[in-house]
Amino acid sequence: MADRSALPTGPADDDGRLVLPAAARNRDPILDVLRAVLPASGLVLEIASGSGEHAVHFARALPGLIWQPSDPVKEARTSIAAWTAAEHLPNIRPPLALDVMDWPWPQTQADAMVCINMIHISPWAATEALMRGAGALLPMGGVLVLYGPYLRDGVETSQGNLDFDADLKRRNPDWGVRRLEDVSACAATHGLALDRVLEMPANNLSVVFRRG
């Protein structure tokens, strides 16, 4: 999966809470998307939750949903647990040690799934594993919500995203900003249809797939 050690985590509080500056900037635009596409109730599995800041923000704003964060890295899970404890949220579960590449997953069912900023900092096999898991876990009509930078055929790519793609590939040749068409084709092989693509701040996209 993604090499989470390459992410800028910022300082940790004494209780282990990590701080991602980008999380504070993008959490509300992402929340607007989630309000529009997630079910009113049920369990949401978040893949690669990182610091846990998104998880507590979304769980607080969407009390009808049970939020299940996950991350393969122990430091991230410690941070998620610390954020959860600090916020006293009853609808967020302890983080799972889940790596999309390790099948079967420890979670076997979800009403919806969310994955933020993972696909471009992981090998392509992780995208394939994510789609396989979503196709297996989601019910008919269930959504997988992705967020991050993408390249799109026929759409001019910002210089910032081109520079970011080049930097990612310098750091790891298996990383890079993915073509949305390739991601959609991969999703389709696992029964996930592209539902909508939403423009987001800083040249990012929210991409919603729906099972069936």
Q: What's the Cα-to-Cα distance from 109 to each of 42, 67, 68, 106, rounded to whole Å?
A: 10, 13, 11, 9
Statement: residue 197 has pLDDT above 90? yes
How far is C-alpha 102 from the geometric centre of its chain's CA atoms?
17
Statement: residue 68 has pLDDT above 80? yes
The percentage of residues in the chain with a pLDDT greater than 70, rounded to a whole number, is 93
pTM of the model: 0.92
Segment 189-193 shows an average pLDDT of 98
How far is C-alpha 198 from the geometric centre of its chain's CA atoms?
15
What is the residue range of 145's domain?
A: 22-204
Note whether 205 and 199 are within 8 A (CB).
yes
CATH number for the domain spanning 128: value is 3.40.50.150
How far is C-alpha 17 from the geometric centre of its chain's CA atoms?
19
Asked if residue 12 belongs to a domain, the reply is no
pLDDT computed for residue 21 by the predictor: 87
The torsion angle over the Cα atoms of residues 20, 48, 6 and 161, rounded to 10 degrees, is -80
Asked if residue 144 belongs to a domain, the reply is yes
Asked if residue 164 belongs to a domain, the reply is yes
The helix or strand, by DSSP H or E, that contains position 45, with its residue range, turns out to be: strand 42-47
Peptide bond into 104 cis (omega under 30): yes
Per-residue model confidence as pLDDT tens digits over 23-50? 889 999 999 999 999 999 999 999 999 9
Cα separation, 163 vs 161, in Å, equals: 5
Please give the tally of structural domains in the chain. 1
Asked if residue 79 belongs to a domain, the reply is yes
Asked if residue 9 belongs to a domain, the reply is no
Statement: residue 6 has pLDDT above 60? no
Asked if residue 175 belongs to a domain, the reply is yes
| Beta bridge mates, 196 | 208
Helix %, strand %, coil % of the chain (to 5): 40, 20, 40
Asked if residue 1 belongs to a domain, the reply is no
Asked if residue 209 belongs to a domain, the reply is no
